[in-house]
């Protein structure tokens, strides 16, 4: 897997004022849409180093008009996908968005979502934005693409 080219740009209030830690992200990886498609996908792991649970209620992007929290589920061998209203990262823990599980669906691009395009993602809580990260759209698998999918829990959606 090519290293995720990720920069945490901005870190805003993560939770209650008395919290000493921060919320940050690692492993941010975003894949450009496949040929003929306009939906990209992003994965990352959220780390909640604060003393309080943090609930992410949505996400936005400067390059995509529709960003949704989604989850692929595999039940009895059948996969399905559903939109998540929110996800909670417990205090002191991490929560992964990864292939075959939770992911950020990036739709309605406002710029050509080509490989190499730099994008920003903002995660929001009820109180407001909590985290902004950037990533570069990578080619997914296939010819010359990133091989980032070994041991992927393969449910489809």
113 binds another protein (CB under 8 A): no
The residue assigned the tokens 């985290």 is 131
Indicate the DSSP class of residue 140: B
29 binds another protein (CB under 8 A): no
Among 39, 45, 55, 57, binds another protein (CB under 8 A): 39
Tell me how far CA of residue 118 lies from CA of 19, 25, 70, 102, 142, in angstroms: 32, 17, 22, 22, 21
- Helices first, then strands: H and E counts in the chain: 0, 11
Q: Which is nearer to another protein, 48 or 72 (CB)?
A: 72
Among 81, 85, 112, 136, binds another protein (CB under 8 A): 81
DSSP of 46-74, one letter per residue?
A: EEE-SSS-EEEEEEEESSEEEEEEEEEEE
116 binds another protein (CB under 8 A): no
Among 90, 92, 112, 153, binds another protein (CB under 8 A): 153
Closest Cα partner for 2 from 154, 150, 138?
138
Distance CA 27, CA 133 (A): 11
Among 103, 125, 131, 132, binds another protein (CB under 8 A): 103
Closest Cα partner for 54 from 21, 26, 91?
91
Among 37, 90, 92, 96, binds another protein (CB under 8 A): 37
Q: Which stretch binds another protein (CB under 8 A): 11-19, 51-59, 116-124, 148-156?
A: 148-156
85 binds another protein (CB under 8 A): no
100 binds another protein (CB under 8 A): yes
Cβ neighbour number for residue 144 with a 10 Å cutoff: 7
Binding site for another protein (CB under 8 A): 31, 33-37, 39-41, 70, 72, 74, 77-81, 99-100, 103, 105, 107, 140-143, 145, 147-157
């Amino acid at each position: 897997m090519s290293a995720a080219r990720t920069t945490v740009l901005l870190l805003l209030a993560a939770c209650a004022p008395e919290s000493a830690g921060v919320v940050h992200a690692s492993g941010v990886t975003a894949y450009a849409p496949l040929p003929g498609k306009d939906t990209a996908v992003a994965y990352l792991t959220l780390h909640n180093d604060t003393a309080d649970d943090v609930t992410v209620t949505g996400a936005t992007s400067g390059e995509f008009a529709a960003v949704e929290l989604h989850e692929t589920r595999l039940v009895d061998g059948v996969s399905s996908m559903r939109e998540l209203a929110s996800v909670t990262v417990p205090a002191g823990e991490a929560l992964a968005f990864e292939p075959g599980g939770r992911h950020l669906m990036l739709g309605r691009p406002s710029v050509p979502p080509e490989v190499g395009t730099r994008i920003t993602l903002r995660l929001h809580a009820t109180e407001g934005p909590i985290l902004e990260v950037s990533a570069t759209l990578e080619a997914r698998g296939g010819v010359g693409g990133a091989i980032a999918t070994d041991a992927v829990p393969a449910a489809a959606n």
